[in-house]
Amino acid sequence: MTILFVLLTFLVVISVRYFIEPQSQPALETEVVVKPQRPRVKREYGFEIPQDYCFHPGHTWATKESATNARVGVDKFVAHLMGKIDHIEVRGTDHWVRQGQKLITLTANGASVDLLSPVEGVVMAVNDDVLRDPSLITNDPYESGWIAMVKSPDLKVNQRNLIQGPMVASWMQDNTARLNAMLSPSPALAQDGGGPVSGLLPQLTPELRKEVVQEFFLS
């Protein structure tokens, strides 16, 4: 009887506490977008290559922030070609974008180009600083000039389709050489050999500009 009484008392106490004390609710998952860390940069073939960044063949980049989150932007090849960027349009938040689908539109001196998403997923956030001050892309495309955060459930798979690691420097060198050949005899390279002359794209004829955009930005 004593044991039964103890068990009944215990059940009563548990029941009372359940109905009287507030029940803890599971924490809601929140996404906090923080400023990016300064990337480790390695200089190869005259190019500054941010380490652990993956590059889409259309010259956008992605860097892994978590298992399913990627920060994305455009590379220095784009920044040099565009020069002074006047306006940026980005696919709005909560929109799904496929890998290789238009994500960004940059306008410089009346010339607009569409750039493709390096990963597939939902646009979580857009960098308001770069929308207010597009020069961040030109001056610092791999850190403060980032453009959007994308929640990519298949990020690991997406990364396999991108250019990364030791392939990046040779790919950039090849793109710069092909651009130089396409625009020959006009000088396409900067004096330091690190990329196109700043603001070159808006100076091209519409026909040649279209060829360059299709060849290098795939849009």
146-187: per-residue pLDDT in tens? Answer: 999 999 999 999 999 999 999 999 999 999 999 988 888 765
CA neighbours closer than 13 Å in the CB half-sphere of residue 144 = 9
Q: Is residue 95 part of a domain?
A: yes
Using 50 as the pLDDT threshold, list the residues of the chain that sit under it: 1-30, 190-192
- C-alpha span between 52 and 93 (Å, rounded): 25
Considering its fold, how many domains does the chain have in total? Answer: 1
The contacts found for 131-134 with CB under 8 angstroms, 24 or more apart, are 131/88, 131/90, 134/85, 134/86, 134/87, 134/88, 134/106
Q: Is residue 57 part of a domain?
A: yes
Q: What is the CATH number of the domain that holds 86?
A: 2.40.50.100
- Residue 217 pLDDT: 97
- Residue 189 pLDDT: 55
Containing structural domain, residue 62? 41-217
Q: Is residue 200 part of a domain?
A: yes
- Residue 35 pLDDT: 78
Q: Is residue 23 part of a domain?
A: no
Q: Is residue 29 part of a domain?
A: no
- Residue 6 pLDDT: 36
Q: How far is CA 105 from CA 90, 111, 207, in A?
A: 7, 10, 19
- Residue 36 pLDDT: 79
Q: Is residue 176 part of a domain?
A: yes
Q: What are phi and psi of 125, to 5 degrees?
A: -155, 155
- Residue 183 pLDDT: 86
Q: Is residue 183 part of a domain?
A: yes
